[in-house]
Amino acid sequence: MAARSLRVVSFLNQFFGQLGGEEKAGVGPQVMDGAVGAARAVQQALGDAGTVVATVICGDNHAAEQADRAIPELVALVAAARPDLLVAGPAFLAGRYGVACGALCAAVQAELKIATVTGMHRENPGVELYRRRVYTVETGAEATRMLAEVNRLVALGLKLARGEAVGTPAAEGYFARGVTRNVVAGASAAERAVSMLLDKLAGRPFVSEVPRPAFPPVPAPRLVKTLEGATIALVTDGGLVPRGNPDAIEALNATRYGAYSIEGKSSLDAAQYDNPHRGYDTTWVKQDPHRLVPVDVARELEQSGAIGKLHETIYSTVGVATTLAHSARMGREIAEKLREAGVDAVILTST
């Protein structure tokens, strides 16, 4: 090995930095020379390849509660040690610690252009928050196999710091970052699909090449009021917009939604509306917008007292080839506005 010995900084929480347990979780960012606490495992894994020049430590509560201040302070401590590589954690299943590791690695990469690696259990919230930006090695829930797992972190970290090629998530043991890389496969797609099908039929293990997005379960809220006292809003992903599409909602792959007043309207006049949605034949909805957004019957139900109130704003977007990330963001934004307006429930009509 002719490679030069690398300077490495290890980031730990108060527990793995041997400052103390929960009673020390409030301690702020600090730095110690050399390898302290669990950083000794990092040094052991590095061998001659590098030296832990400093151990940076921050209490879990401090990092979680004052992240806006703590992360920049930690970045400054890392910068002062002039490392080639930051190894954060591993955090195992410790949530505050995992989030701090991810946040620090992301900030160090972005601001200092220094390679980083962290490690944690797949259910650590730090995984979902940072795996797309930070190489995060999968570990167990507890520190029982600390040395073996630190070895994997360090092996990946050395590749990153040296600018060497990094293998697939499965080969290197890190969480997929959502990056697509072109590779030359040994067989055509048809051959691979048939062989996968044969494996499936024979009950043999197989791995899909197209992972499906995971949809975390959303708890179903209860309607706390009676319908007679509730404000109901109408929302649609079927693309209804006022004529002229004032918000320029895209015909597919939408990133925008519109909020349109129905104040004073007992029904929707087809001449005043349009529909840019390119995922279904909108002829019938353009003829009569109520086929998508039932303002007419909702007004009748409001007048008869079956519902307390119809919310005076309808929200609309185009749901076709819309990315999960934009859908989730738009849903969150619309839900926040509805909640601020005192809406109790939503009927979302979808095509």
Partner 1 sequence: MTPVAVMVGANRIVSAAGIIHPLGSADLSPDEEKALRRRIVEQALQALRTEVAKPTVFTRE
List of residues contacting partner 1 (CB under 8 A): 215-218, 220, 222-223, 227, 232, 238, 280-285, 287-288, 290-294, 296-298, 300-301, 306-307, 345, 347, 349-351
Q: How many CA atoms lie within 13 A of 153 on its CB side?
A: 37
Our CB check for partner 1 shows the closer of 117 and 234 to be: 234
Q: Answer yes or no: are the C-beta atoms of 279 and 319 closer than 8 Å.
A: yes
Length of the chain equals: 351
Q: Which is nearer to partner 1, 162 or 278 (CB)?
A: 278
Nearest distance, CB of residue 121 and partner 1, angstroms: 24
Which residue is associated with the tokens 């693309």?
Answer: 239
Q: Residue 28: is it exposed, middle or buried by C-beta count within 10 angstroms (0-12/13-18/19+)?
A: middle
Dist. CA 69–CA 62, nearest whole Å: 9
- The CB-of-203 to partner 1 minimum distance in angstroms stands at 24
Nearer to partner 1, 51 or 349 (CB): 349
CB 58 within 8 A of CB 70: yes
Least separation in angstroms between residue 344's CB and partner 1 is: 9
User: Which residues face 57 on adjacent strands?
Assistant: 12, 30
Q: How far is the CB of 273 from partner 1 (least distance, A)?
A: 14
- Which residue in 221, 245, 232, 228 sits closest to 294, CA to CA? 232
Torsion angles phi and psi, residue 320, rounded to 5: -150, 125
CB of 313 to partner 1, least distance (A): 18
Q: From CA 74, how far away is CA 67, in angstroms rounded? A: 10
Closest separation in Å from C-beta 71 to partner 1: 32
CB of 301 to partner 1, least distance (A): 7
CB neighbours of 226 closer than 8 A, spacing ≥ 6? none
CA-wise closest residue to 16 among 118, 143, 174, 151: 143
- d(CA 38, CA 15) in angstroms, rounded, equals 9
**Closer of 154 and 307 to partner 1 (Cβ):** 307
Judged by beta carbon, residue 22 or residue 281, the one nearer partner 1 is: 281
